């Protein structure tokens, strides 16, 4: 049997760990179970990763890389509003297509926060990537420059909205409802950007409020019975 290169074997074990954590949680992700998932001897896992914590650290790095790839692949090289919409939509579509990765991120974030600072790896990498992407052309649709402080707030909004969408998708896994929820989430982003990035001359005022009716609670949580 041909010998598997160490780098390839490490990648297989990390991918197996993602699947096992998604299915069984961090507590159920034993090294034996991960090795079996990767079709590798347990001794090989311990050779590649001295401890389970080291393996989980590699999983964090892998997830941070995947998150970064999603963001860069949705960089439309446009104004701030258009770019932010593309990033948020790309993240939501990624969560829909990769539920195991989403579940693993949530499991590991909780574990990492308890065990140390590793939970910050994914978020710090994502924030820096978004800051680079949006900061390339930090102007609004009308060409108005956007301060870095506002860009940082926008990055937080995109991350918070995508996290909320991901958690809801993992709980309900309703493909039909998720399409409508995606548009609702993008609408929240649009509302924030209209208030913070829009043309001040056209912003709603107390004398001339926005005429579009606000959605009621039933429309926002249509997948939950409110009767």
Contact in structure between 192 and 157 (CB atoms under 8 Å): yes
Q: Residue 2: is its pLDDT beyond 60?
A: no
Its CATH class, for the domain covering 59-197, is: mainly alpha
pTM confidence score? 0.81
Domain ranges of the chain: 59-197
pLDDT exceeds 80 at position 192: yes
> What mean pLDDT comes out for the span 5-10?
88
Q: Which of 105-114, 186-195, 211-220 has the lowest mean pLDDT?
A: 211-220
Closest by CA to 99, choosing from 14, 158, 166, 29, is: 166
Q: Average pLDDT in the 188-196 region?
A: 96
- The mean pLDDT value of the chain amounts to 85
Which pLDDT score, from 0 to 100, does residue 107 have?
87
What is the arithmetic mean of pLDDT over 117-140?
A: 85
């Amino acid at each position: 049997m041909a010998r598997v290169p160490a780098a390839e074997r490490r990648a297989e074990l990390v991918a197996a760990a993602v699947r096992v954590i998604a299915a069984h949680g961090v507590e159920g992700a034993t090294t034996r179970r991960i090795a079996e998932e990767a079709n590798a001897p347990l001794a090989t896992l311990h050779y590649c990763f001295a401890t389970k914590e080291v393996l989980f650290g590699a999983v964090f790095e892998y997830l941070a890389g995947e998150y970064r790839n999603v963001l860069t692949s949705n960089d439309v090289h446009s104004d701030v509003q258009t770019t932010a919409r593309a990033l948020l939509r790309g993240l939501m579509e990624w969560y829909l297509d990769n539920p195991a990765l989403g579940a693993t991120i949530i499991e590991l974030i909780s574990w990492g926060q308890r065990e140390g600072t590793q939970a910050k790896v994914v978020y710090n990498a994502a924030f820096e990537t978004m800051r680079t992407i949006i900061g390339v052309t930090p102007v609004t649709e009308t060409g108005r420059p956007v301060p870095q402080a506002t860009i940082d707030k926008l990055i937080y909004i995109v991350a918070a909205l995508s996290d909320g969408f991901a958690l809801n998708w993992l709980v309900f896994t309703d493909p039909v409802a998720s399409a409508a929820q995606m548009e609702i989430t993008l609408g929240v982003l649009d509302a924030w950007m209209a208030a913070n990035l829009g043309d001040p001359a056209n912003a709603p005022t107390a004398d001339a409020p926005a005429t579009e009716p606000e959605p009621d609670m039933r429309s926002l949580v249509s997948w939950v019975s409110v009767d």
